[in-house]
Amino acid sequence: MAEKGPIGVFDSGYGGLTVLKSLVKKLPNYDFLYLGDNARTPYGTRSFQTIYQYSLQAVKYLFDQGCPLIIVACNTASAKALRNIQQKDLPKIAPDRRVLGVIRPTTESIGHFTASRHIGILGTKGTIQSESYLIEINKFFPDIRVSQEICPMWVPLVENGEQDGAGADYFVQKNLDQILKADHKIDTLLLACTHYPLLIPKIKKYLPPHIKIIDQGKIVADSLAEYLHRHPEIEKRLLKSRSIKFFTTDDENTFNEKATLFYGRKTIAEKTDLNIG
């Protein structure tokens, strides 16, 4: 039988740590290996081809580290690269391993949160322009009206530690006003970017209290637990020694300083160049 390995979790930077936190809470016995491509973040403003190339390199790296299963904990990479990786690359490079994203589990469950059947999606340019959320939600819940809003400043604000500052007030209020102007019946707002949970205090300040804020961590964790239940052939290949390792493509000390904000605990990261040339 193939050797056992950890669950790989990949993001363009720190954002995926908000998902990892929920995964570890839900599945505490498993081993995880987190990879943040901090040297090349953000992905949200890049072209399809670039996001696909970077994401594939990250996936190959995590396979080299022995991960039988990878969670792409980045909406932008899930929207732009995942389908190609699953359909085109996986059959060639690792047909017995799996790569899952965050969009599918979110769109499968989003319909259960809204009473008005009007929801809002906030994300990066890459995620919103891909229309992945519109297409997927329409498949599962065709009765729901979806409005989308690109929030181009939210990731830079969080990356620069400005999530509690006055700049955050300005941009959060601006984007919330826009989406509520587009559809005032919205009762559910999805944070379709793994960085955005850090802005929840500001979002709550400017959002009418009846509107639910949905962040993806718990949804993705619940969905992974179900997936492992349905796929014992993958589950039995996962290590369960509660080890959690962190890799970054940029400076490890900077990663450790910033990661706590997203992960809620201290990290000890190692630097990697993804074995690229």
Catalytic residue set: 74, 193
Query: Beta 98-100 vs 69-72: how paired, if at all?
Result: parallel
CB of 132 to ligand DGL, least distance (A): 11
d(CA 136, CA 144): 11
d(CA 81, CA 83): 6
**Chain residues that interact with ligand DGL, rule: CB under 6 A:** 11-13, 15, 41-44, 74-76, 124, 127, 155, 193-195
Q: Is the dihedral of CA 211, 130, 127, 21 positive or negative?
A: positive
**Residue 230 burial (C-beta neighbours within 10 Å; 0-12, 13-18, 19+):** exposed
Token pair 């297409």 in the structure block, residue: 135
d(CA 156, CA 9): 22
CA distances from 136 to 56, 133, 151, 240 (A): 22, 5, 21, 33
Cα–chain-centroid distance for residue 249? 18
